Amino acid sequence: MPCTRKPIYGEWIEEKILAPVPLCHYVLTVPKVLRSLFHQRHRLGDLCRIVGRLLTEAYREAAPASQAGFILFVQTLANLVTFHPHIHALVTDGGFHPNWVFRVLPPGPAELLEQQLRRAVLQLLLADEAIDEDLVAKPLNWQHSIFSVNNRVRIEARDAEGRRQLARYMTRAPFSVNETDAPSRQGDRSPSAAIVGTRSVSRTLRGV
């Protein structure tokens, strides 16, 4: 799709893809200690497949005959201009039955999904020989570095504009230069340091 059409992607999703049903926005992140391993781009695809499988299983467990719908988006940067791979998921807040009747279901418990995400990602990285059992077993590695699932944002079925805005948000640029915080190497978080860092990022983007 040409870049000139990107601003209307939210409208295209609303008109061509989404059914007029309630939606839930999931954000799933991996711990800082593991993020650099996802510079191997194929692991981002693996992460998407894990998230898709976990969401499908969660909704089928709540209603075995139903099928949830979802769209997954990969983001790899945060406001600190650091590599921060995470998944945005636009998910139906319920499931479709074989006769296409939609039934609202309770949201998947975030805590349970976090546990399942942790188990699946660690198994993936172990199988890929990116980490070893010692890393997994040491509690200090996970004391302040957790897997996270947030599913608090919901859109009602009648809120077509809300669905468009959420789709636009998920397909935004990886980060906004105006909102970027770029600490110095010494950890200086002062406004002047952020401004200098932001200008540097701006120059870099213009050269891409």
- pLDDT single digits (tens) 48-107: 999 999 999 988 888 888 888 898 988 887 656 678 889 999 899 888 888 888 988 877
Query: Residue 86 belongs to what H/E stretch?
Result: strand 83-92
Listed in sequence order, the residues at least 6 apart from 78 whose beta carbon sits closer than 8 Å to its beta carbon are 84, 175
Listed in sequence order, the residues at least 6 apart from 92 whose beta carbon sits closer than 8 Å to its beta carbon are 19, 21, 22, 23, 24, 68, 69, 70, 102
CB 30 within 8 A of CB 47: yes
Residue 188 confidence class, pLDDT cut points 50, 70, 90:
very low
Q: What is the pLDDT of residue 204?
A: 34
Mean pLDDT score of the chain, rounded to an integer? 76
Nearest partner of 68 among 103, 42, 32, judged by Cα: 103
Give me the mean pLDDT over the 14-34 stretch. Answer: 88
Q: Which two tokens stand for residue 91?
A: 């998910």
- pLDDT single digits (tens) 126-157: 999 999 888 877 755 565 558 899 998 888 98
Q: What's this model's pTM, rounded to 2 decimal places?
A: 0.73
Nearest partner of 150 among 103, 108, 179, judged by Cα: 108
Q: What is the pLDDT of residue 61?
A: 86
| Pick from 26-30, 131-135, 160-164, 172-176: least confident | 172-176
Q: What percent of the chain has pLDDT over 70?
A: 72
CB 176 within 8 A of CB 75: no
